[in-house]
Amino acid sequence: MSLLPPLAMASPSSSTLTGIDWVAIAIYFSLLVGVVAWVVRKAKDTAADYFLAGRNLGWWIIGASIFASNIGSEHIVGLAGSGATDGVALAHYELHAWCLLVLAWVFVPFYSRSLVFTMPEFLERRFSTPSRYVLSIVSMVTFVVSKIAVGIFAGGVVFATLLPEIHISVGGVTINSFWIGSVAVIVLTGLYTMIGGMRAVAYNDALQVTVLITGSALLTFYGLHRLGGWSELRRYCGSEMLNLWRPITPAGVQSTWAPVLETGSSGAIVRQAWYFNGNFPWPGMLICAPIIGLWYWCTDQYIVQRALGAPDQKTARRGSIFAAFLKLFPVYLFIIPGLICFALAKSGKVPELGGMVGANGRPVPAEAQAAFPLMVKYLLPPGLRGIVVAGLLSALMGSLAGVFNACSTLFTVDLYEKLRPKASQHEIVRMGRIATAVMVLIALAWIPVIQGAHGLYNYLQSVQGYLAPPIFVVFFFGVFWKRLNAHGCLWAMVVGFVIGVFRMLVDTPVTMKLAGFERGYERGSFLWIVNNINFQYFSVLITVVSAVVMVAVSFATPAPDYPRIGSLTFATATDADRAQTRASWGKREVLASVFILACILGAYIYFSG
């Protein structure tokens, strides 16, 4: 999950890659092809093998795959840009590693016992078939309009920044590096996902995480070495940029819920207005961010599918805990390089970065957002530069593979298999491959839209805030409260999604600056108010409404059949269920979880100014 600033496209004058860099990238792709070939030899023509790797993934593969699915190119480049402009403020989202511990300790037992393939299938077991269909369709739409779109956009920016001079002329038409890089990565990722299924995705994710962490660590090390160490970073950035509690509202933007006195032409006060347009207000960060985090890490098919591929509860739990440990790294490998880049620019130690600092000594946002690729260009020696670029490609491919695989599973298991209950295992696997191919074509069709869009990134990040709340409500309320029934679940999802889609429809013409909406809606009108309420506050509103609807409808209708939902809630779990869960963990899992929580607490204390 990422809620990051938009990416800016830098325009370096020459290529940053040398022959040895291309050798490093070629070695990476050779390893990737080798993994796919190995997976194909082990593959079985069954749905369980294609979609869940035969439920035989090891814990370290599960953890690495969860992390790789989360960390896309947009995450890396966006976090580094955020570090250069806002310091460590957005580390709040990266410190949501604790949400993975909730997956490990709360949800893994339910998912493991139910032996489901998808999150909508679990919802059907707990509530009803209609709720399964609603969640499947909404999830697939969300993947297409958010994860695929943003991933392609960020990948295209990376290619355009690092390889601006690469182009192909076909019939008098010049195809630039944005197109070349995006198409190449989408097609290659789609091919290995389509051929090898979940096993290919998971094992390549493990390879990609290794390359990604190694490359980013090298960039951090070289940056600090060039700057003169951590003390120099603190000196040039100041305590404000290293303060996690710094207000996350851009300069020049009215503080959220701040009263502003509007004046007429004569200067007289007309009325007192309340503007709701801060980007990341504190109440939203404290309330909305955990809601979105828990939805993403605990109930999103894109993430949880890896845990479903475990053979038992112990393996799934250990994999989720390992993913939580890996989730601690982005603060130091992606955000800190952004601060280092700003400090290098401010100190003058890398003159080429001088444009990143304005006359007032503050970051220039348009330049700072390209901090990561610019550091790759100007700091790293040949060879190492290729490793970091391979890491960026790894991030893009890992996140796209996760989307392709998740969408293929949702469509095939939740829709096709329901419509064709007598389909053979071979037919199901074939449909899974076809669904993946269709997702690749959809991704390719997105490229021209994404390349020319303005303000798309922030808009797409808000999509999660509008569509996630009802999913969060039905899953969390569903496992903790046995009295809630299918009617309450369905109505909560329908009402929540209708409100979320309404807000998206209101935002779209303004965000895309369509004709007639360049200046937004008429100030003070209902649509203006809806459009200007901060997306985090609106997300909290949807959460509250969904919860109220679910509880009210459930208590207005008959109680669920408790024997039917046995083992699917805490209250209906049997003694055998509880004994099985207790036998699946020991001191290692507890100590590892405590260590992760201690690291999160330590980060909050250290970055408190």
Which value, to the nearest 10 degrees, does the dihedral of the CA atoms of residues 115, 121, 126, 130 take?
Answer: -160
CA angle 512, 518, 521 (to 5 degrees): 100
For the record, the structure tokens of 4 come out as 């990051």
- Please tell me the predicted confidence (pLDDT) of residue 276: 36
Distance set, CA 235 to CA 225, 231, 240, 318 (Å) = 15, 6, 11, 40
Beta-ladder partners of 260: 273
Within 279-424, where are the H helices? Answer: 282-299, 301-308, 313-326, 330, 336-347, 365-368, 371-379, 384-409, 417-419
- % of the chain residues with pLDDT over 70: 82
Identify the helix (H) or strand (E) that includes residue 270. Answer: strand 269-275
Closest CA to 66 of 299, 326, 311: 326
Query: Is residue 426 helix, strand or coil?
Result: helix
Please provide the CATH number assigned to the domain covering 27-41+53-452: 1.20.1730.10
What pLDDT, on the 0 to 100 scale, is given for residue 572?
93
3-class SS shares of the chain: helix, strand, coil, % to 5: 70, 5, 25
Please answer whether residues 397 and 381 qualify as being in contact, where contact means their C-beta atoms are separated by less than 8 angstroms.
Answer: no
- Side-chain half-sphere exposure of 324, counting CA atoms within 13 A: 31
340-341-346-352 Cα dihedral, nearest 10 degrees: 150
* Cβ contacts of 139 within 8 Å, gap of 6 or more: 119, 120, 300, 301, 406, 410
What gap in Å lies between CA 531 and CA 263, rounded to an integer? 22
| pTM, to two decimals | 0.85
Give me the residue label for tokens 């550091």: 375
Residue segments in the chain with a per-residue pLDDT below the cut of 50: 2-15, 249-278, 454-455
Query: What count of Cα atoms within 13 Å lies in the side-chain half-sphere of residue 552?
Result: 9
8-state DSSP, 253: S
Q: Name the residue ranges covered by the structural domains of the chain.
A: 27-41+53-452, 454-573
DSSP string, 513-529: T-TT-TT-SPTTSHHHH
Residue 480: predicted pLDDT:
95
